[in-house]
Structures are given as C-alpha cells and as structure tokens.
Amino acid sequence: MSSTQIVLLVLVVLVVAVLVAVAVVANRRRALKSRFGPEYDRVVAEQDSRSAAERELRERERRHAELELTPLTPEARARYAAAWEELQVRFVDSPAETVGDADELVGRLIAERGYPTGEFADQVAQLSVDHARTLTHYRDAHDIRLRHERGEAGTEDLRQAVVHYRALFADLLGEEPVGHRPPEQRRPDRPHDATTR
C-alpha cells in the first residue's frame, strides 16, 4: 500500500468517525428535545451553551432515574379529583384562599407520586423529565401566587393561577380532574372503561 493510499484511508476513517460522532450528538439532541419539549428550549436559553444545557438535562434524567415514583391507585385518583372539583367550586367565594389551596393540593399530589417537594427549582427540575409540557403552567401559577403574596395579583390573575395549577394537576393525575366519577359511584352493571377514568 502506497503512502498516498494510507493517507486517503486515514482521511476516510476520520471523516467516517466525525460523521458518526455528529450523528450520535444529533440523535441525543433529538431525544432530549422530544422528551423535554419546551423545557429543552428554556434550559438552552438559560445556559451558556447548548452542550451545557444538554448536560443539565441529562443530569436531570439521571437524578430522576433514582426516584421511586408510584402510580396513583384508582381510589387516590378519585380522591384527588374530588378535592380539585371542590376547590374549583370554592374559588367563587374565596379566590385568594383557593390559590393557596391549589398550590397545597398540587404539592400533596407531587409528593404522593414520589417527586421531591423541597425547593421549587429542584421540584421543577425533577418534574421536567416526565411533565415538561405542563411546567410552564406550574411556573406561571407559582409566580402568580408569589405576586399575590406581595399584593400584586387581582382576581383574574388568581383565576389564571388556578387554571395553570390545574394543567399540572391533570398531568400528574393522568386525567382531567373535573367531571370524574369516583369508583364507588359507577354502576355495578357497567364495567370500568377508559372513558370513566
């Protein structure tokens, strides 16, 4: 084999290696974008570089894998759905109190599912792995609640906070909370199906 052929072979191997590396990075990026949705773009905007953002998201996935998440029982799901429905009814008479109750109810649901409930930023980071598409709602609700505590939120803001809390609540619950019939209210002659969940 001549020296020219050896050089060409080395160049071809290098080009193939670079193409494989680019494909691996592109596949990882596509997987992160798919999993995190709008959270991917948010983290990229917050970080110094795309690679730093992607490291952060992979670290979230690693920490998330260590959690012991538990699905809700049908009874727990019905209990939470009933609590949410009651909370929405109370909003008309007591909007400020209801926002605090919504935050507390969402927090209880987060804890029961097995997510951390400490610092808000840590909580959001862990939720982002499975619930990234509803995190903007949760952040907005949290911001409105904090504005309300400072006396800067009106009734319409509080209503919007409850709507935002509901988005994450429904995502964690796995169904829309209002209109849900508890298991004990189903007719015994009708089997349980997905439409009653």
| Domain coverage including residue 26 | 3-65
Q: In terms of Cα–Cα distance, which of 73, 69, 138, 70 is closest to 102? A: 138
Q: How many CA atoms lie within 13 A of 64 on its CB side?
A: 19
Mean pLDDT of the chain: 84
Q: Looking at the domain assignment, is residue 167 inside a domain?
A: yes
Euclidean distance between CA atoms 179 and 75, whole angstroms? 15
Instruction: Give residue for tokens 């400072």.
Output: 150
| Helix and strand element counts for the chain (H, E) | 8, 0
3-state DSSP call for residue 197?
coil
pTM score, two decimals?
Answer: 0.74
Do residue 60 and residue 119 come from a single domain? Answer: no
CA dist 187 → 73, 85, 182, 183 (Å): 19, 21, 11, 9
Euclidean distance between CA atoms 131 and 138, whole angstroms? 10
Do residue 58 and residue 90 come from a single domain? Answer: no
Interval 16-72: pLDDT, tens: 778 777 777 777 878 888 888 888 888 999 988 988 999 999 999 999 999 999 999
Q: What was the pLDDT predicted at 188?
A: 40
Domain end call among 65, 89, 109: 65
Do residue 10 and residue 107 come from a single domain? Answer: no
Q: What was the pLDDT predicted at 183?
A: 35
